[in-house]
Amino acid sequence: MIDDPDGYADVIDGVDGHGLVGAVERLVAIPSLGGTDAEVDAQDAVAHEWASLGLEVTSWDIDVASLAAEPDFPGMEVDRTAARGVIARIPGTGEGPTLLLLGHTDVVPPGDRGAWSSDPFRPEVRGDRLIGRGACDMKAGTASITYAARALFASGVRLRGDVVLAAVSGEEDGGLGTYAMLRQGITADACVLPEPTSLDLVPANGGALTFRLRIHGRATHASRRTEGVSAVEKMLPVLEELRRLEARRNETVDPLMQRWPIAYPLSIGTVHSGDWASTVPDLLIAEGRLGVALGETPAQARADLEGALARLCDEDPWFAEHPVEVEWWGGQFASGRTDPEHPVVRGLGEVATTILGNAPEVYAAPYGSDLRLLVGAGIPTVHFGPGESSAAHAPAEWVDLRETVACAQVLAAYAMRFCGTST
Ligand SMILES: [Zn+2]
């Protein structure tokens, strides 16, 4: 770089792309599914990488049971007894603001292995792509934090404010790790989460509330089915009501959300009913996910769904006597929003434009993430990371390695801009 008015050239050149790809591969090879021992292994692996940079690493055992009993606990959908918190700090001179770079190391299950052309936990590099479960969501992003820190270190730049690196687990099923980190009193003036955004800026996201419906019927022998009430058939008016509710909740949406076909989806993910083929089933249990709008509280969203079902139950004689029961369980992600004009969004956008050569788009994402916990704790937060969000949770998950390296470069340069440098 000949023209270097911002002084970023050293840290940009200092990002070791080859090393970064290796770090993504090592992380993807750890099958850190939520609720397994490997979740802790992945946290330990990141702690080890950070310690090897010469950073002071703090790692602690999270008391999962006592946090889960707290009223603000964000929820958990897997059995988990152990979790590890990991942070590291690049100390500044104490004269500037603190930037938090946070990544999660847990992944979702690979799904149907037949839909993968390779072993989900044996990362494969094909051209500019790395394929494996968690490559995109978000082990490439987490590794890019490590390599941004490495480049900052190697450049010898003296930052005025601290850079705090955090690795968390339990993100996919509620946000245990970030909740635990915040409960440790760790804070910052702004946070960048390198979740997959294809290097666009995502300063807000919709929330997601997991629910369970119990739809009651009356069992009888299938040969006399008209004398019973099938819980499966009673699911149909419930589904229709949920579709109407979803349409109504998406009539007007925040401008940041307008790029999505459905900003706030309402979807049923599991359905279980019946225990015998020739019995009319008396119970159907369906689990699903309700999107929470920007600016809407989870309580408002819950009341909206409960209200819609209550009206349905008023109109239907069977439901009037056997109302559909709603239970809220598991992940309860509020929506979260950082003002797109906030300096962390604008500043990161300017640095990214300088380095990438084109300006990132700014929009909100329809999925929940740790952003809402951080924003809720008063830390303005933006997603900016490698990978397309459509590849996340999908078979043959992949990440673009050029984006991964560019992300590390932007994060390193942005840390200089945000924290300030001292000569
Ligand atoms: Zn993620």
Quote the tokens at residue 46: 């990141």
> What tens digit of pLDDT does each residue of 246-265 get?
999 999 999 999 999 999 99
Q: How many CA atoms lie within 13 A of 189 on its CB side?
A: 15
CA of 106 to the centre of ligand 1 (A): 8
Residue 191 has pLDDT above 90, yes or no: yes
Is the full-model pTM beyond 0.85? yes
The arithmetic mean of pLDDT across residues 43-72, rounded, is 96
The arithmetic mean of pLDDT across residues 345-366, rounded, is 96
CA of 134 to the centre of ligand 1 (A): 8
> What tens digit of pLDDT does each residue of 110-157 get?
999 999 999 999 999 999 999 999 999 999 999 999 999 999 989 999
Residue 216 has pLDDT above 50, yes or no: yes
Residue 328 has pLDDT above 60, yes or no: yes
Helices assigned H by DSSP within 339-394: 343-356, 371-376
Which stretch, 368-372, 379-383, 391-395, has highest mean pLDDT? 379-383
- Respond yes or no on whether the N-terminal peptide bond of residue 138 is cis (omega within 30° of 0): yes
Q: How confident is the model at residue 5 (pLDDT cuts 50, 70, 90)?
A: confident
CA of 231 to the centre of ligand 1 (A): 36
CA of 284 to the centre of ligand 1 (A): 31
Residue 353 has pLDDT above 50, yes or no: yes
The phi, psi pair for 151, rounded to 5°, reads: -65, -40
Residue 378 has pLDDT above 90, yes or no: yes
CATH of 207-333, one of 1.10.760.10, 1.10.150.120, 3.20.20.100, 3.30.70.360: 3.30.70.360
CA of 201 to the centre of ligand 1 (A): 15
Pairing label, strands 190-193, 381-383: parallel
| Domain residue limits, the chain | 9-205+335-419, 207-333
So what's the pLDDT on residue 144?
A: 98
What whole-number percentage of the chain has pLDDT above 90? 93
The arithmetic mean of pLDDT across residues 268-295, rounded, is 97
**9-205+335-419: CATH topology:** Aminopeptidase (3.40.630)
62 in Cβ contact with 168 (< 8 Å): no
**Chain position carrying tokens 């002071």:** 56
So what's the pLDDT on residue 1?
A: 46
Cα distances (angstroms) measured from residue 301 to each of 208, 212, 224, 262:
9, 15, 40, 16
The arithmetic mean of pLDDT across residues 87-106, rounded, is 97
Cα distances (angstroms) measured from residue 217 to each of 78, 223, 250, 279, 286:
29, 16, 31, 11, 14
Q: How confident is the model at residue 162 (pLDDT cuts 50, 70, 90)?
A: very high
So what's the pLDDT on residue 145?
A: 98
CA of 212 to the centre of ligand 1 (A): 23
194 in Cβ contact with 384 (< 8 Å): yes
CA of 104 to the centre of ligand 1 (A): 7
> What tens digit of pLDDT does each residue of 291-307 get?
999 999 999 999 999 99
CA of 328 to the centre of ligand 1 (A): 22
- Local structure of 278: helix, strand or coil: coil
Q: Share the mean pLDDT of the chain.
A: 96
So what's the pLDDT on residue 74?
A: 87
Three-point CA angle 27, 98, 369, nearest 5°: 50
CA of 196 to the centre of ligand 1 (A): 7
DSSP per-residue letters across 13-36: HT--HHHHHHHHHHHHTS--BTTS
CA of 137 to the centre of ligand 1 (A): 4
Residue 360 has pLDDT above 80, yes or no: yes
Cα(386)–Cα(197) distance, integer angstroms: 6
Identify residue 181 by its one-letter amino acid code: M
Cα(283)–Cα(312) distance, integer angstroms: 18
User: For the chain, how many helices (H) and strands (E)?
Assistant: 12, 15
> What tens digit of pLDDT does each residue of 313-326 get?
999 999 999 999 99
Closest listed residue to residue 205, CA positions, set 373, 364, 344: 364
Closest listed residue to residue 287, CA positions, set 272, 274, 298: 272
The arithmetic mean of pLDDT across residues 325-339, rounded, is 92
What whole-number percentage of the chain has pLDDT above 70? 99
Closest listed residue to residue 367, CA positions, set 397, 338, 396, 335: 335
So what's the pLDDT on residue 2?
A: 52
- Taken in order 402, 404, 407, 413, the sign of the CA dihedral is negative
